[in-house]
Structure 1
Amino acid sequence: MRTLVAMPEPTTPIETIGLFPLHAVLLPGAALGLRVFEPRYLDLVRDCSRTGRGFGVCMILEGEEAGTVTSAAAYGTEAAIEDFGTGDDGLLTLRVRGRRRFHVHRVRVRDNGLQVAEISWCGADAVEPLRPEHGLLATLLHEVIEKFGGEHASAPNERFDDAAWVGWRLAEMLPLHDTQRQALLQIEDPHERLQQVLSLLP
């Protein structure tokens, strides 16, 4: 097993998680569809289905999704499998949902090419009301959802006063670059995250 990343030893408890690097950013609460065909990821999905655990999604910084080992961002999101099936091409399809954020401290590569990371979990977002300076963002989110619909169309009104939820949904639904989404993923404070979203608006 080869070590790809070595960083200072973390002071918080660590766990291990299999990684599924992508040219995309999975955000907490967001859904993502995947097609799985490489043996290393089929094995990962099988293990997760058996144990009930999720796997980690990190944005690729260098390399491709298939084939060679990639270099991925040091922050990612746990993916929980919500549904699975078979596509028209016979490949396994997954629908996953973003859960907890994590910080990667070290990555090792198994013989089958699967990256396994030692991680610490980031703190959960506190439920805090929007600050007055971010009220415009709740209005914007309402307008985006009304225009495009989707699974968040039935969200209760109180969600639109939750700073963390509003920030994640705007990061999910606005036409941002993945590098911008990754930067938002790495921000700990939900109000700071909203301020960053505000700065990205034209």
Structure 2
Amino acid sequence: MPSDENLPLFPLHTVLLPGAALSLRIFERRYLDLVRDCGRSGRGFGVCLILQGEEAGAPATPAAFGTEAVIEDFDTGPDGLLTLRLRGKRRFHVQRTRIRDNGLVTADVQWRALDPDDVLRPEHGLLATLLQTLLAQIGDAAIAVTPTQMDHAAWVGWRLAELLPITAAQRLSVLQEDDPHARLDRLLSLIA
């Protein structure tokens, strides 16, 4: 397992998955400081589902699993607020949290192992077909797909978990699963 690291957290009422895109509007000072620090260091920050609390105001209680977010693009919206386009990268498990004076939650995290490059098993072929149907409905521009990606268990699982109409708690349960085939089994049970 990779070693522990301290990571600033951005708790949200959503689950960011590896490879998924997320747009954020930033207006609180603690998160403006977080973005400035990430820009200076070239590092990302953690996105975790909120278990208790709200996105703004008092620090929220984050879930114990999350995904590192890296900033792909930023702009200022018509309302003058900073907008970010993020991409989910590595998964992590929170070991301990602290709250800074400015209300920013930071965590000692343990990085989860990267997904193996496993081929999709025959029993999960239906999920690849479902994913192809969903991608056709939303259009290819939303998620870039190469032909070989539909054969990779981890990629199919992450994209399905991103696109299926499941709850945030269900998405979090998928994020917590280390084995890509077990993730696909969980998705099969959710759509059954």
TM value normalised by structure 1 = 0.92
- CA distance in 2 between counterparts of 1:157 and 1:150 reads 12
Q: Structure 1 residue 193 and structure 2 residue 166: aligned?
A: no
Give 2:149's aligned amino acid: R
- CA distance in 2 between counterparts of 1:113 and 1:150 reads 40
Partner of 1:171: 161
Partner of 2:48: 58
TM-superposed CA distance for 1:154, in Å, is: 3.9
- Residues 18, 55 of structure 1: 8 Å contact kept: yes
Q: 1:155 aligns with which of 124, 145, 163?
A: 145
* Unmatched segments (≥5 aa) in structure 2: none
Distance 1:153 1:68, change over 3 A: closer
Q: Structure 1 residue 116 and structure 2 residue 101: aligned?
A: no
- Residues 146, 153 of structure 1: 8 Å contact kept: no
* Unmatched segments (≥5 aa) in structure 1: 1-10
Q: Structure 1 residue 79 and structure 2 residue 56: aligned?
A: no
Q: Deviations over 1:122-167 (max 9, x none)?
A: 0000111011100010111000000111545541111000000000
Q: Secondary structure at the match of 2:184?
A: helix
Q: 2:132 aligns with which of 139, 142, 150?
A: 142
Q: 1:36 aligns with which of 26, 29, 38?
A: 26
Identity %: 60
Q: Structure 1 residue 49 and structure 2 residue 70: aligned?
A: no
Aligned CA-pair RMSD: 1.2
Partner of 1:6: none
TM value normalised by structure 2 = 0.97
Give 1:138's aligned amino acid: A
- CA distance in 1 between counterparts of 2:142 and 2:179 reads 23
